[in-house]
Chains A and B, each alone.
Chain A
Amino acid sequence: GAVVSQHPSRVICKSGTSVKIECRSLDFQATTMFWYRQFPKQSLMLMATSNEGSKATYEQGVEKDKFLINHASLTLSTLTVTSAHPEDSSFYICSAPDPGRYGYTFGSGTRLTVV
């Protein structure tokens, strides 16, 4: 099936620094990528939707300037957490529509810890 490769799987950064998370669609073109955030023992909350070649669409309450999303090619979408703070520590997961079936395929997730 369709695979979305997400990197890094874990990252620890200092408060105030920026972190970039990459999601690559392997063997298929992802014109759309969804970015979720999941706090411990909570559900997946959609942060934003990226579309290749256009601006991302952010969900209500998500700061555009803090969570920069770039979808410059049909196989790569990136999420940059800028000026990270401890409250940004979370599990970030990307997802793309599966071209082979009705549904979605998820990246493996990135555990971000801001110290």
Chain B
Amino acid sequence: GENVEQHPSTLSVQEGDSAVIKCTYSDSASNYFPWYKQELGKRPQLIIDIRSNVGEKKDQRIAVTLNKTAKHFSLHITETQPEDSAVYFCASLTGGGNKLTFGTGTQLKVEL
């Protein structure tokens, strides 16, 4: 089955700096890659997603890049703010099914 690895597990940045989180996947048939932000005790919130026919997508301070050849995708957050502090999960959807496989998560802390 699909395996999604996520790095780093923790990330501390200064307010205003950029944050980058990287994920790799194993199933070449995967075709959808969402990123979720989860605050403690809350449901995951979709912040951005990308489909396999696109290499990059941007939404204000958030961007995602996808390299299908290398089977990795990254989340980029620019001009970080304290409210960006949360756990971020990447995920992949295999083309052969409809199950999301989640990465292990990254605890992002934006310090003042």
Chain A residue with the shortest CB-CB distance to B49: A103
Chain B residue with the shortest CB-CB distance to A104: B100
Q: Determine whether the beta carbon of B103 is less than 8 Å from that of A43.
A: yes
B46 contacts the other chain (CB 8 A): yes
B49 — which chain A residues lie within 8 A by C-beta? 102-103
B46 — which chain A residues lie within 8 A by C-beta? 103-104
Q: Determine whether the beta carbon of A46 is less than 8 Å from that of B43.
A: no
B102 — which chain A residues lie within 8 A by C-beta? 43-45
Q: Determine whether the beta carbon of A42 is less than 8 Å from that of B98.
A: no
B103 — which chain A residues lie within 8 A by C-beta? 43
Q: Determine whether the beta carbon of A107 is less than 8 Å from that of B44.
A: no
Chain A positions 76 through 107: 1 when the CB is less than 8 Å from some CB of chain B, otherwise 0: 00000000000000010101010000111011
Q: Determine whether the beta carbon of B44 is less than 8 Å from that of A106.
A: yes
Chain A residue with the shortest CB-CB distance to B34: A103
B99 contacts the other chain (CB 8 A): yes
Chain B positions 29 through 56: 1 when the CB is less than 8 Å from some CB of chain A, otherwise 0: 0001010000001111010010100000
A111 — which chain B residues lie within 8 A by C-beta? 41
A102 — which chain B residues lie within 8 A by C-beta? 32, 49, 51
A43, B43: Cα distance in complex, Å: 12
B25 — which chain A residues lie within 8 A by C-beta? none
A44-B44, A103-B32 given; name 5 further pairs at CB < 8 Å: A32-B98, A43-B103, A44-B89, A102-B51, A106-B44
Q: Can you report 12 A-B residue pairs in the complex whose CB atoms are below 8 A from each other?
A: A34-B99, A42-B105, A45-B102, A46-B101, A91-B41, A97-B98, A102-B32, A103-B46, A104-B34, A106-B43, A109-B41, A109-B42
User: Taking beta carbons and an 8 Å cutoff, which residues of B are in contact with A?
Assistant: 32, 34, 41-44, 46, 49, 51, 89, 98-105
User: Taking beta carbons and an 8 Å cutoff, which residues of A are in contact with B?
Assistant: 32, 34, 41-46, 49, 91, 93, 95, 97, 102-104, 106-109, 111
